[in-house]
Structure 1
Amino acid sequence: MKRILIIEDDLDIAELERDYLQLNGYKTEIVQDGLIGLKKAASGQYAAVVVDLMLPNKDGFEIIREIRKNQEIPVIVVSAKNEDIDKIRGLDVGADDYLTKPFSPAELVARIKAHLKRYQRLKGPATAQEVIQYKGLEINTASHKVSVNGDEILLTTKEYDLLFFLASNPNIVFSKEHIFNTIWGNESFGDAATVAVHIQKIRRKIEKDPANPEFIETLWGTGYRFNPL
């Protein structure tokens, strides 16, 4: 039985999330303190984390950032903060999804299921090892490891998915909408801005000069293209 950690200081909301998750076969644990929640999440016992942003002792942004340093599990934000800047920041630090309060508990469960399936698919055993190489950039499709000039680069699952998709289709221009639908799917929060945020994060990690990228090119008004050089 998969375990889900709920980090939420509003007990009524936390219990509502717990009840719906348990009805769908998940074992859940509720933590109302941000610092304790981070320690729990760091234990590696959980298949996914549902986190609020406004928490005592440590906010949700910090928790997500710390989780992403060591773990690749679905992290879903459920927050009363509904401004676009908060949603973009949440995704930027590593959240997979973002729901605003009030929310549908059934939708939360559906999104968690979708992300768990996607992570499982990405972590599944590879039938054969293959390395995509472009001028110092290496993408190992068996281990999902990425390196630049021999130095390993740590990418989130979504960053890897996006880079792999573009690198697997060099010289083809894809619109932001097409990329979002391919990588995130219709069940996830987000839009074309989500793609732009992740492209910027990837560039900061793989490009010599992120302001003048060589690998991932922007075609203004059209989309993005991977340049195999």
Structure 2
Amino acid sequence: MSPAAAKTVLIVEDETPLAVVLEEYLRASAMEVERIEDGAAVVPRVREAPPDLILLDLMLPGRDGLEICRELRTFSSVPIIMVTARVEEIDRLLGLELGADDYICKPFAPREVVARVKAQLRRVEMLTRPAGKTDAQSRGGLVLDEDRYEVRLDDRALRLTVGEFRLLVALCRHPGRIMSRTRLLDELYDDHRVVTERSVDSHVKNLRRKLASEFDGRQFIESVYGVGYRYEPE
């Protein structure tokens, strides 16, 4: 059996010394790396030859990282990790709402970035496994496939981000029970990163929109004002 092809990571970063360090660490982990410094060049590059993952800085010359992320999500599902020096929570939330899969804040340890990259690439590998090799469980009408990060209803399937899927699993484990934002945060982020309860609201908003779009307007998740959310199977 021939060895698997090396994964390609596109680093979009205008701080050259930082980008070079990241490239060295990623190459040391057997990945192919390409660097871009001008934000305006990113979308054409991805259209021409999609990488396996993008490390996307927020503040770039030529074009803002959030704007780039928004356009990429109109035609590509390539994993995107937002990299930013802005620590305001609204920037993190906006990045996730636009379709980013994860974010990491400067300053950071290069090893942490490599670990996040590997985690996202493993997620993609699980998503592309043959359906017969996955473990799916029914949750009151919805069928959740925890290997593929996929939810199915009847003959239709919807793939979710890691955060959205974890949130749905947490709610579905306790149908009809109200779960607080704090408890859901513990389900979403097991690496003790500093986030606020608004992260839960952001994921719920995205999750409801996707469920309704794919499953005939049904959202399955109810808001309980001032308390949290609950899953109501139909």
TM-score bucket (shorter structure)? 0.7 to 0.9
1:72-94 deviation line (CA, Å, top 9, x unaligned): 33211112222222111111111
In structure 1, what is the Cα distance between the partners aligned to 2:88 and 2:167?
25
Matched residue, 2:94? 89
Whether 1:179 and 2:184 are equivalent positions in the alignment is: yes
Residues 220 and 143 of structure 1: CA distance in aligned 2, closer, same or farther (over 3 Å): closer
Residues 61 and 2 of structure 1: CA distance in aligned 2, closer, same or farther (over 3 Å): same
Q: How many residues align?
A: 222
**Post-superposition, which runs of at least 4 consecutive aligned residues in structure 1 deviate over 4 A?**
128-134, 137-143, 145-148, 150-157
Contact 1:145–1:153 (CA<8 Å) still a contact in 2?
A: yes
In structure 2, what is the Cα distance between the partners aligned to 1:189 and 1:19?
28
Give the share of equivalent positions with the same residue, in percent: 33
1:70 aligns to what SS in structure 2? coil
1:224 aligns to what SS in structure 2? strand
1:151-174 deviation line (CA, Å, top 9, x unaligned): 987854543453355346422333
Residues 147 and 34 of structure 1: CA distance in aligned 2, closer, same or farther (over 3 Å): farther
Residues 140 and 102 of structure 1: CA distance in aligned 2, closer, same or farther (over 3 Å): closer
**In structure 2, what residue type is equivalent to 1:20?**
Y
Matched residue, 1:69? 74
- Of residues 96-105 and 46-55 in structure 1, the stretch that sits farther from structure 2 once superposed is 96-105
Shift, 1:124, TM fit: 2.5
Matched residue, 1:80? 85
Matched residue, 1:197? 202
- Could you tell me which runs of 5 or more consecutive residues in structure 1 were left unpaired when the two chains were aligned: none
Q: TM-score, normalised by structure 2?
A: 0.76
Q: TM-score, normalised by structure 1?
A: 0.77
Superposition RMSD in Å:
3.4
Shift, 1:144, TM fit: 3.2
- Could you tell me which runs of 5 or more consecutive residues in structure 2 were left unpaired when the two chains were aligned: 1-5
Matched residue, 2:14? 9
In structure 2, what is the Cα distance between the partners aligned to 1:122 and 1:173?
30
**In structure 2, what residue type is equivalent to 1:144?**
E
Contact 1:64–1:95 (CA<8 Å) still a contact in 2?
A: yes
- Of residues 89-98 and 172-181 in structure 1, the stretch that sits farther from structure 2 once superposed is 172-181
- Of residues 138-147 and 16-25 in structure 1, the stretch that sits farther from structure 2 once superposed is 138-147
**In structure 2, what residue type is equivalent to 1:9?**
D
1:5 aligns to what SS in structure 2? strand
In structure 2, what is the Cα distance between the partners aligned to 1:165 and 1:70?
30
1:118 aligns to what SS in structure 2? helix
